[in-house]
């Protein structure tokens, strides 16, 4: 888990973070996927998601086999708002 938190810190310190999140999601590496999911959860909880974050969330929900349940719920909310 320590490695996941190190990766999460790399996302948080990187600019723009959304590009790092996308790289992590596209890598398919388990720990990077976990860090990217944690970042999206923290970002949504603290600030809400911007357009790039929403795109990464949509990508995650399409591409990751078992995304976190909380992200699925957040995704349903954001994606339904976009369709309205």
**pLDDT digits 0-9 by tens, 19-61:** 999 999 999 999 999 999 999 999 999 999 999 999 999 999 9
Binned at pLDDT 50, 70 and 90, residue 78 comes out as: confident
| pLDDT of residue 16 exceeding 80 | yes
Name which of 80, 41, 31, 33 is nearest 60 in CA terms: 33
Q: What is the pLDDT of residue 59?
A: 96
3-state SS, residue 4: helix
Average pLDDT over residues 70-77: 92
Binned at pLDDT 50, 70 and 90, residue 77 comes out as: confident
Length of the chain: 84
| pLDDT of residue 79 exceeding 80 | no
**Where along the chain do its domains lie?**
2-83
């Amino acid at each position: 888990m320590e490695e996941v938190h190190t990766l999460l810190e790399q996302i948080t310190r990187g600019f723009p973070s959304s590009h790092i999140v996308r790289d992590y999601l596209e890598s398919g590496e388990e720990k990077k996927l976990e860090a990217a999911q944690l970042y999206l959860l923290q970002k949504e909880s603290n600030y809400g998601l911007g357009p790039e974050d929403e795109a990464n969330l949509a990508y995650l929900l399409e591409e990751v086999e078992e995304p976190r349940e909380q992200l699925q719920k957040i995704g349903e909310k954001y994606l339904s708002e976009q369709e309205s």
